[in-house]
Amino acid sequence: MELSVSTLARSPLTRRLAATALALAALTAAPALPAQADAARARPAPEPISTARGAGQSVALTFDDGPHGADTERLLDVLRAYRVKAVFCLQGDQVAADPDLVRRIAAEGHTLCNHSVRHDDLGTATAAQVRADLEATNALIRWAVPDAEIPYFRAPYGSWGVSARVAQRLDMEPLGWTFAVEDWEEPGAEVIAQRVRERLQPRSVILMHDGGGDRSGTVDAVETLIPELRLAGWRFTLPAKRA
C-alpha cells in the first residue's frame, strides 16, 4: 500500500501510524553517500548554541524527548501560570503519538526544536542518513503544526557527528546546553532543583526532560524554581541567536 499525505486524513490512530510510517520510510530510503559524508565531516562543524539570550542573569529552559502526556500537560500549565516561554525538543515518534499536545505547545508560544524521529544516536550516521532523519522529524512536527517554525536541532545524547552541519543546511541551529540536571535518573524534585541552584551561571541553557520517563519530579522542580529564581533577579529567556 502506498502511503501519502491523504492517508493522514483518516482516524486519529491511523493518522498517527501513517505519520510514523512515512517518517520511517524516509529514513530507510535514505541512500548512503560516502563521498558526501566525507566532505561534510571535513568542514568545520558549527558550535552548538549553549548560552541564553541577554546579558547577566538570563536563563533558558529546554525540555527534551516529549511530548509525553500528563507530564507535558502539567509543565505547560506551570509555564503558562508564570508566563515563561521554553524550548521543546520534540521526538518524532512522540509527536505522531500526541499531535494535539504539540499543537498546544506551539499555540502557547513555545519554541520548537527537532530532536530526531526515535532518539537514535546519529554520531556515526552519514550526512544523507542524518538529513533523512531530520527531514522526517520536521515533517511529523509540521503534520501536527502546519508551517511550524523549527529553529533548532538538538542531537540525541549530544552525539553530533555531522548532524550540526546538516541541521544548519536545513535552516536549524544546533542547540546544546550549559548544563543538564540528569533528571533521567528520576532523583526527585528537590534534588533536581538543588542541581540547578548549584550549577546556574549567567546565560545558562538548562537541559531538562518532559519525556522519556516519569518527569513529575522535573515539573515539580520547575514549579519551585521559577518564582525562586525570579525573586533572585533571574530572567527567563530563550537560547542565544547566532551572530
Which domains, ranges and CATH numbers included, belong to the chain?
A: 50-237 (3.20.20.370)
- CA dihedral defined by 102, 140, 138, 215, rounded to 10 degrees? 40
Residue 101: closest CA among 71, 125, 129: 71
Residue 60: closest CA among 175, 166, 163, 143: 175
User: Cell triple for residue 207?
Assistant: 537541559
112 forms bridges with which residues in the sheet?
88
137 forms bridges with which residues in the sheet?
none
Give me the sign of the Cα torsion angle 229, 234, 235, 239: negative
Task: Tally the C-alpha atoms within 13 A of residue 225's C-alpha that lie toward its C-beta.
Answer: 29
Cell numbers 518524532: residue: 92
Task: Encode pLDDT of 204-240 as tens digits.
Answer: 999 999 999 999 999 999 999 999 999 999 999 999 9
Task: Encode pLDDT of 39-92 as tens digits.
Answer: 445 567 799 999 999 999 999 999 999 999 999 999 999 999 999 999 999 999
Q: Are 22 and 169 in contact (CB under 8 A)?
A: no
Alpha-carbon distance of 29 to 131, in angstroms, equals 11
- pTM for the whole structure: 0.85
Q: Are 18 and 140 in contact (CB under 8 A)?
A: no
- Kindly list the catalytic residues: 64, 209
